[in-house]
Amino acid sequence: GVNGHAVVHMEDEADTSSGRGVATSSKYAAIQEQRANLPIARGETHSTIPAISIHDPSFATIGKEALLNEFREHDVTVLLGETGSGKTTQVPQYLLESGLAGEGMIAVTQPRRVAATSLAARVAAEQNGRVGSVVGYSVRFDERSSTDTRIKYLTDGMIFRELLSDPLLSKYSVVIVDEAHERSLRTDLLIANLKTIQQKRNDASQGKGKGKEKEKERLKIIIMSATLDAEKFAKFFPGSKIIYVQGRQHPVTIYHSAQGQLDYVDSAMRTFFQIHVDQPPGDVLIFLPGQEDIESLDNSIRLYANQLPPNQQEVLICTMYASQAPGQNAKVFNATPPNTRKCILATNIAETSITIPGVKYVIDTGKCKEKRYLAKNTGGGFDTLMTRDITKSSAMQRAGRAGREGPGFCFRLYTEESFKSMALSAEPEIMRSISALKTLFLIGGLDQSGEITQLGREMAAFPLEPVYSRAVLASKEYGCTNEVLTIIAVLSASSKVFVDSSEQRDAVAEARKKFKHGSGDHLTVLNVVRAYKDVALSENKSGRREWCRKHFLNERALLEANDIREQLQQTCERLGIDWKVSCGDGDEPVIQSFGQGLAMNTAFLQPDGTYKQTMGQSTVKIHPSSTLCDKKAPTIVYDEVVYTNQIYARGVSIISKSFLAGLGALKVRQA
Ligand code: ADP
Ligand code: MG
């Protein structure tokens, strides 16, 4: 058992102790007490059966042992339970501690990387170890695991990558698919794959030896969801069992706005200060769609908090979103200091994936960002991230966050009518993002019959979007892998390298002039990296930082890009691609490599100055942030579209017409 382990000093991100001097053993004891008190451990009774029809009505009120029995007896279990009841953190540990997982590893998949890293940190602390020992994680560009690792939190994207080299996922004895209610594209595809894998493994184990050997080969699947809508999953796996874990939910009083809000950031700020000034202590959690809104609200709350009278409680702002540094995200779990109100600004990551203690008030903007396939009057269409209204199910989850430790309050910045008109729950992403398959076919990753090609396999070896993997493979032919890797590494960093400042637009333009490349944004990015490398040769850390500040560049993004580049180099080495090959100052080879991957994202100039897609009917404009925004390039290739009131192409370079003709792109368009 874990309790017998020597006490290890913990220094990882999960170490959120308020006092460093406190003996770790007492902290460990406190953590164990928290664990034992979670609803999932206690098997709390519930008075009402949830109002859903379940084929097996023996909704056992279940404690740890009973739960383990169910896992033992069923190959597939669907585990439902309110957010915060302990599903994600406890179930993997129960499986490990009881020996039920046998010799194999336990995978826990998450749709979001922040969830994977922060949950791994917490569970590692509960196991009294570091992240990367018994408990590890694997997310894109970042893996912390070792030969000791038994529980691994990974994004669903990463488990897909593992499938390519280990099609039966043989190192895992249990795969837990978490947050299944979100119906993300990858979660759905994973569940479909797991069914086949389980059949194959269980068939194989039947023919073989007895006892231990047999156990080793079987695969257990546990599907976990925060909502009660589980019928579909259970139907997909005949013989599976649905289990309900009672959560602890106190009443939450919900207020709606009397009128619709035009500016939800401003309205969130006002609501926050009303709570802060008038309401008793308790932390506030504000749901916003994304990073930009979080940053802007952070600034305005800070500004006004400084002007409050000195007898007011202090305001402590914590933020939580995907691209934020993990250490920063971990801060939300620190205990709120005395005479202080914590204000947490989060995306829907805090809706069901992560439970932050101490929250009494929730402010819900009613917005989220969602990947969506836009088929708007087009033949083509776009996969794009857009801000949209949340669903009823999300609104309920958000409100629920206020009632975990006592009665709470939820302020919805939208009217009751808007709530009533919201969609019930999210449409499965697979219904929205099918253009991904078309892209894969066009760039050669899939063949006519939908089978993965040799090229597709090589593409899958890179931890990149297929379009960029394709560009790397093309760079081999064009002799510019060095340049292409650098640019892709910057594009793959979690934050943008160019810092935007609407107040200092002219200063920004002036400072960046020297990086500008005539062919467009891809080579401009390369110029930035080259200039930074030169500076790094002569300047120390603070000199480099100052240089970045002066040029409105995000140094963290550049450093992260450097790490990513190294990982891409390693993948190249595995595939026998010489990443040192360079085209010097040439630009055509680089852009054409991108053109091979981004064939879907090519467009040509029309008389009115807008661009028409070569493989689709949509019209795009060049984004104002692009170096090409006021040039009239005849044909362009671009990284992505952003959809605001207009459809903009972002990350744009000039590509030759003859290249597009060679791709058949222009022909496709005429056909
Ligand atoms: P579920 O998956 O059922 O929503 P979890 O297992 O995620 O529940 O959460 C169980 C408990 O663990 C919650 O009370 C949550 O606040 C706590 N927890 C999770 N991560 C951390 C952390 N990094 N620090 C402190 N507590 C945490
Ligand atoms: Mg969970």
Measured between alpha carbons, how far is 668 from 663 in angstroms, rounded to an integer?
9
Instruction: Look at the pTM and tell me if it is higher than 0.80.
Output: no
On whether the CB atoms of residues 632 and 622 are closer than 8 A, the answer is no
Q: What distance in angstroms lies between residue 564's CA and the mean position of ligand 2's atoms? A: 29
More confident call, 472 vs 203: 472
The tens digit of pLDDT for each residue in 391-440 reads: 998 999 999 999 988 999 999 999 999 998 888 877 666 555 576 667 77
Residue 373 has pLDDT above 50, yes or no: no
Residue 204: C-alpha distances to residues 164, 216, 236, 431 (Å):
20, 11, 21, 34
Structure tokens at 131: 């992240």
Per-residue pLDDT at 315: 95
Which tops the pLDDT comparison, 98 or 245?
98
Q: Which 8-state DSSP code applies to residue 434?
A: T
Report yes or no for ipTM above 0.90. yes
Q: Where are the beta strands (DSSP E) in 280-423?
A: 283-287, 314-320, 340-346, 359-364, 367-374, 382-389, 408-412
Mean pLDDT of the 4-13 span:
28
> Best of 16, 33, 89, 182 to mutate for ligand 1, by most ligand atoms within 8 A of CB?
89
Residue whose C-alpha is closest to residue 180's, from 273, 288, 76, 331: 76
Residue 118 near ligand 1, beta carbon < 6 Å:
yes
Q: Exposure string (b/e) for 198-220, b if CB count within 10 Å is 16 or more?
A: beebeeebeeeeeeeebebbbbb
The secondary structure of residue 280, as a DSSP letter, is -
Closest ligand 1 atom, residue 16 Cα: 24
Q: Model confidence over 638-664: pLDDT tens digits?
A: 998 887 678 899 999 999 999 988 887
Other C-beta atoms lying within 10 Å of the C-beta of residue 227: 21
Q: Give the whole-angstrom CA distance, residue 288 versus residue 368.
A: 7
Query: What pLDDT digit, counting tens, does each position of 501-527 carry?
Result: 667 778 888 888 899 999 999 999 999
Q: Are 103 and 526 in contact (CB under 8 A)?
A: no
Question: In the predicted model, is pLDDT for residue 208 greater than 70?
Answer: no
Of 31-45, 96-110, 476-490, least confident by mean pLDDT is 31-45
Structure tokens at 65: 């042992």
pLDDT over threshold 90, residue 125: yes
Q: Which ligand is nearest to the CA of 247?
A: 1
Residue 388 has pLDDT above 90, yes or no: no
Instruction: Quickly list DSSP for 55-120.
Output: SS-------HHHHHHHHHH-SEEEEEE-TTSSHHHHHHHHHHHTTTTTTSEEEEEESSHHHHHHHH
Least confident range from 271-285, 372-386, 599-613: namely 372-386
Closest-CA residue, ligand 1 atom 20, reads 122
Report which of 361, 290, 282 is spatially closest to residue 320, judged by C-alpha positions. 290
630 contacts: CB under 8 Å, gap ≥ 6? none
Of 9-23, 168-182, 375-389, give the range with the top mean pLDDT: 168-182
Rounded-to-integer distance, Cα 59 and Cα 49, Å = 8
Q: Measured between alpha carbons, how far is residue 7 from residues 2, 3, 35, 571 in Å?
A: 10, 9, 18, 38
User: Is 90's pLDDT higher than 90?
Assistant: yes
* Mean pLDDT score, 305-330: 86
Q: Look at residues 111, 64, 114 and name the one whose alpha carbon lies nearest to residue 92.
A: 64
424 against 271, higher pLDDT: 271
* The pLDDT value given to residue 555: 92
Helix (H, G, I), strand (E, B) or coil at 654: strand
Residues surrounding ion ligand 2 at CB below 5 Å: 87-88
Token pair 């068939």 in the structure block, residue:
203
Say yes or no: CB of residue 247 within 6 Å of ligand 1: no
Q: Is the distance from the beta carbon of residue 41 to the nearest atom of ligand 1 less than 6 Å?
A: no
Residue 317 confidence (pLDDT) above 80: yes
Distance 413 CA to ligand 1 centre (A): 27
Half-sphere exposure of 67 (CA within 13 A, CB side): 28
